[in-house]
Structure 1
Amino acid sequence: MSDKDLPGIVSSDTVYESQERPKLQRCVPAGVTVEPVLFMSMFAMALQGPLVTQYIWEQMSVDVGFNGTKKQGCDPLNNTIDPLQQEVETLTSHWSLYINLGGFLVGLFSVMLLGPWSDSVGRRPVLILPAIGLALQAAVYLVVMYQKLHVGYFLLGRIISGITGDFNMILAGCFAYISDVSDRQSRTFRVAILEACLGIAGMVASIIGGHWRKAQGYINPFWLVFAVYLFTALYVYFCIWESVKERKPSRLFSPQHYRSVFRLFTVAGENKQRCKLCLYSLALLLVVTVHMGAKDLFVIYELSSPLCWDSDLIGYGSAAEHLTYLSSLAGLRLFQLCLADSWVAEMGFLSNISGLVVFSLASTTQVMFTGYGLRFFAMATTPVIRSKLSKLVDEGEQGTLFSSVACVEGLSFLLATGVFNSLYPATLHFMKGFPFLFGALVLLIPAGIIGLIEVFEKRPTYSQFSEIS
């Protein structure tokens, strides 16, 4: 079977005709494109994420004099919270806010330059640059840990990665690449495969990270993070074909790139496409905000009483969270046989909301894992939204679109970090799981948006009768 026979995959002879070929032509099997790029990047990101939070927790515990045993007050029947532990939770939450805030703000401006630029010069440069930046971020984190510097120096690493586009630019570049090489019919599933790569990588990294930190501490895992990011950059350089058919020189630092993002949402299109673009972007903003906000709190929520998980259980919990990407891919493929994409997304919202409600009430390990289980289909919503967005713009606007989507996600991260990391310490005294309940309520908004768009799109029109009359 040739590439031409594979649904959703354009033959390499067609897509890459007259394009510069990478130096090694048989690095990966036929049909594989940027999936390994996203897998490796997500593996490194998922490995470092919980470790950074736990490292901040330990450093804050030392600063305030908390012994870190956490076993006192871990009885579910005991509602007494150690004030030192509560102070550690608050400090950890706030420092996570400051560090993420710095990186996201810088990354927003970089992504809006790099995304439209890739429509002209190609996708490969905007995949290599952020991988190098993330490797430099890991190097800064290693220096902080070796020298036992204050956790505030993590902010320097986040700013460096933000300047080069951060993980958001890798996401944008990979999704734009898939939009370049897939047809409209198969695009939702191709995007879902990319998101499944996120889940599988995150699951593997989470299991490894928990055991590895317990056995060897923080430094050795971060050396692997550094190596994976460097290898990702080399893989793109040697093994990825260029997907942009007609490349042309373009200045990187140009206000034209910002104007192209602005025009994408303001210039009127056919069938109210720009209005749909804005509505789907709003839906994505809220979905990612809730997802990232809850994800940021999982480790802190699980470390503290009444759960008091150790690094092994935290790893398993994070693996269960990332497993939803894979289970959502399988469910998406199954339900697409009998349902429109929008109704598949609605089922994803139902799964996500029910899991978050259970999280908000969890006081035992069994209930917490029940919440993870209920969210088995939670990640089916984002590939549907991304696919619908990509179908609303022209072929030459995919980089601009996904850079704007990356900005939306960057804004989501900003909102998630600001709202959820501020809401958590503010609500500890009356309901520890309130942020998860808040997230469940917020998800009702994008669920309504997608449902209403689908209903109005299917509504029959009677313009032909008015023309006759």
Structure 2
Amino acid sequence: MDEPDTTAILPEEEEMSTDASSGRKAESGDRNPGRPPFACPRFVSVEPVLFLSMFSLVLQVPLCTQYLWDRIGEDIGYNGTKQGGGCGNTSADVDPLQKEVETSTAHWNLYINLGGFAVGLLTVTFLGSWSDVAGRRPVLIIPCLGLAIQAAVYLLVMYLKLPVAYFLIGRVLSGLSGDFNTVLAGCFAYVADTSDRSSRTFKVAVLEACLGLAGMLASIIGGQWRRAQGYINPFWLVLATNVAAALYAYLFVVESVPSDPSAKLLTTRHHKAVFRLYSTGGETSEGGKIFQRYKLWLYTLCFFLVVTVHLGSRELFVLYELSTPLCWGPALIGYGSAAQHLTYLTSLLGLKVMQRCLADSWVALVGLASNIAGLAVISVATTTELMFTGYGLSFLFMTATPVIRSNLSKLVGPSEQGALFATVSCVEGLCSLVASGLFNSLYPATLHFMKGFPFLFAAILLLIPAGIIGILECQDRRTDNRESTTS
């Protein structure tokens, strides 16, 4: 029972008789139609899909925020510069027009994201659970195409200088296809299909590191490119990378579960599977015990809080850096975002090292402490040096999410992985919705007394998952000690 789902197709464990063009055993071909035209490179599976999708997302988000800032500023007649001149580290009152631009940009970010996330929250529930019977490949291809359509709509808005409200159309179309959250769900479910319990945490962390590497490269490229050529040319790269991700998934990714081409997408079966999982609790093979369902709920709450803080603070970094007193330009914004995403790689390295002497839960607590320290410093950052110090202190902040994802996966049986990751995808969509609404509303509301208050608030929120994870780990240790004593 410690092995992954026996129905999963593990490319790395195929025998020599495996059909090389399909990457799967010949006898499973009838059960798993839709073979990729080419075999996936060895030791690589869905990582390129996640890398390309994340690259396009990180390239797009700051460009979109800066476009909104400039476009709204142009509409209301704000001519303040972001480097010296009208923006500096002074104690004078902030230009009322700048405050209006900040507030309007934050609100439009909120409206655009609410539109996409609200639709995506419904779609990802169907797509995530549907992949358990229809296969993982479709839920990798469909959302990538939706993200490409969104980029095309954004390009149209920029070329024709349409009102920024038209960005909503692109976000809603992307939400209907499942949005980036479905790409995440498909990739992490794929890893759960093709890994055993002992290696799962690190393999999940590798996917998280792909997110960081893609984000770091996109941040550097986007900042420099935006300064040199404006918004439109970088957005063509956003469109191209999403199309490339969909093509890679179609051409190279080997299906990891037996797929049923007749599986229905719009059915209540997907919701019932999630309900059964969280109402009865998942089964684990460790000693034949049944884990109490409250652990599923508590780990899901931890995941919700950690991801909400991550997404919410990330949305505000560009706004915080653009305005007084930091007054960063496109290049510094790119370097700052690169520093933030570099922590994905340092977190992967830290997780690998700490796993040698610490249990996964204690590794997660170290990561949360790193994140809290970084956010606390950023909340009071008034200089470039202090801002980068905050990024530096967060160098282990991404060790928490792979541990939580892995722990959730280990709490359920092999046949429940699809329902679990459908739920995690839904929660991640809810995180985006709550983060966008909460932090984009909190930022303008607290400008008058503490500009960095949302980051301080985020640091305080992280104390909750830290306490939950610590308590659950202590309970597990006591239970194990008691059982070893009685035996």
Q: TM-score, normalised by structure 2?
A: 0.91
What CA distance in whole angstroms lies between the structure 2 residues aligned with 1:351 and 1:201?
22
* Secondary structure of residue in 1 paired with 2:395: coil
Q: 1:56 aligns with which of 60, 68, 79?
A: 68
Contact 1:73 1:306 in 2 (8 A): no
- Give the alignment of 1:364-375 within 5 angstroms: 364-375=383-394
Q: Deviations over 1:79-107 (max 9, x none)?
A: 42111001100000000000000101100
Match of 2:361 in 1: 342
- Give the alignment of 1:139-178 within 5 angstroms: 139-178=152-191
Contact 1:288 1:412 in 2 (8 A): yes
Contact 1:10 1:182 in 2 (8 A): no
Q: Deviations over 1:91-135 (max 9, x none)?
A: 000000000001011001111101111100100011110011111
Q: 2:344 aligns with which of 314, 325, 347?
A: 325
Matched, 1:425 2:477: no
Q: Specify every segment of 5 or more residues in structure 2 that has no aligned partner in the other structure, as ranges.
A: 1-9, 284-289
Contact 1:73 1:80 in 2 (8 A): no
Q: Deviations over 1:334-377 (max 9, x none)?
A: 00000000000000011000000000010000000000000000
Match of 2:133 in 1: 120
Match of 2:196 in 1: 183
Shift of 1:432: 0.3
Contact 2:11 2:254 in 1 (8 A): no
Match of 2:13 in 1: 11
Contact 1:357 1:437 in 2 (8 A): yes
What CA distance in whole angstroms lies between the structure 2 residues aligned with 1:87 and 1:306?
16
- Give the alignment of 1:438-457 within 5 angstroms: 438-457=457-476
Deviates more, 1:44-53 or 1:399-408: 399-408
Match of 1:4 in 2: none
What CA distance in whole angstroms lies between the structure 2 residues aligned with 1:422 and 1:126?
32
What CA distance in whole angstroms lies between the structure 2 residues aligned with 1:282 and 1:111?
19
Matched, 1:129 2:142: yes
Shift of 1:461: 6.7
Deviates more, 1:365-374 or 1:74-83: 74-83
Contact 1:120 1:246 in 2 (8 A): yes
Match of 1:307 in 2: 326
Shift of 1:249: 3.0
What CA distance in whole angstroms lies between the structure 1 residues aligned with 2:45 and 2:451?
43
Q: One-letter code of the match for 2:170? A: G
What CA distance in whole angstroms lies between the structure 1 residues aligned with 2:46 and 2:481?
45
**What is the identity percentage for the equivalent residue pairs of Structure 1 and Structure 2?**
61
- Give the alignment of 1:276-295 within 5 angstroms: 276-295=295-314
Q: TM-score, normalised by structure 1?
A: 0.94
Q: 1:410 aligns with which of 401, 413, 429?
A: 429
How many residues align structurally? 460
What CA distance in whole angstroms lies between the structure 1 residues aligned with 2:77 and 2:401?
43
Deviates more, 1:192-201 or 1:410-419: 410-419
Q: For the aligned residues, what is the CA RMSD?
A: 2.0
Q: One-letter code of the match for 1:362? A: A
Q: One-letter code of the match for 1:363? A: T
Shift of 1:63: 1.6
Matched, 1:47 2:59: yes
Q: One-letter code of the match for 2:450? A: M
Residues 347 and 74 of structure 1: CA distance in aligned 2, closer, same or farther (over 3 Å): same
